[in-house]
Chain A
Amino acid sequence: DAGVTQSPTHLIKTRGQHVTLRCSPISGHKSVSWYQQVLGQGPQFIFQYYEKEERGRGNFPDRFSARQFPNYSSELNVNALLLGDSALYLCASSGHGQMNTEAFFGQGTRLTVV
């Protein structure tokens, strides 16, 4: 079975640009969460989606947005990129109900803002 897949794996953007990151969850998983991991730190929660609805939002500015599609894949969008947005962006999928707690992470998208 395929795990969580994220694309692209690496990305370089210029300040002020917009970026879209994509995630495909494990087959059958309905919950997708996004995390930002700055070098040397633990992942920080950005969003959780379950059954295409936003179920949680972390302490991130409105420049960050996300959505989940009918096939449960998800996109994370970041507008007006800042140098501080440079990080590893992780997608995690969870099992067959919102209360299923095991979360499996993808390999991440390394975003560099220059």
Chain B
Amino acid sequence: QQQVKQSPQSLIVQKGGISIINCAYENTAFDYFPWYQQFPGKGPALLIAIRPDVSEKKEGRFTISFNKSAKQFSLHIMDSQPGDSATYFCAASHTGNQFYFGTGTSLTVIP
């Protein structure tokens, strides 16, 4: 059973455009929702995270939108750059215990 569902599987965006990746979860006990960025051959790097008591969090060009009632959250990458080309994973956890990851989104930003 996939605890966190992520879409799309792949995404191609023009340089300067907005990249949007969506995730949905089922377990209402989840209280921490991070996004990770992973380059080939590297481990996932924490990008930004949100807790369900806020609906939006912004850090630089990266924004998480959170909809508690719909049990959905999304990552928005503004002014996408070729260097943002990577695989992005959403995840969810309860009190910092095991993380449940989405299946990943391969983002390609075209110059």
Which residues of A are interface residues toward B (Cβ below 8 A)?
4, 6, 31, 33, 35, 40-45, 48, 55-56, 58, 88, 90, 92, 94, 98-108, 110
Q: What A residues does B103 contact at CB under 8 A?
A: 41-42
- Which of chain B's residues have a CB closer than 8 A to the CB of A44? 101
Tell whether, in the assembled complex, residue A103 and residue B34 are in contact, meaning their CB atoms are under 8 Å apart.
yes
Interface residues of chain B, those whose CB is within 8 Å of chain A, are 6, 32, 34, 36, 41-46, 49, 89, 91, 93, 95-104
Instruction: Chain A residues near B34: list those with CB within 8 A.
Output: 101-103
Q: Is B99 a contact of A43 with CB atoms below 8 Å?
A: yes
B contact residues around A101 at 8 Å (CB): 32, 34, 49, 93, 95-96
CB distance from B59 to the nearest CB of A (A): 13
The prevalent SS among residues of A at the interface is strand
In the bound complex, do residue B45 and residue A105 qualify as a contact, i.e. CB atoms below 8 Å apart?
yes
Instruction: Please give, as numbers and ranges, the residues of chain A lying within 8 Å of B100 by CB-CB distance.
Output: 45
Shortest A15–chain B CB gap in Å is 24
Q: How far is the CA of A43 from the CA of B93 in the complex (A)?
A: 13
Q: Distance in Å from the Cβ of A113 to the closest Cβ of chain B?
A: 19
Is A106's CB under 8 angstroms from B43's CB? Answer: yes
> B100 CB to closest chain A CB, in angstroms?
7
6 smallest CB-CB distances across A and B, nearest first, come from A42-B101, A105-B43, A101-B96, A45-B98, A101-B32, A107-B43
Given contacts A41-B104, A42-B101, contact A100 B96 (CB under 8 A): yes
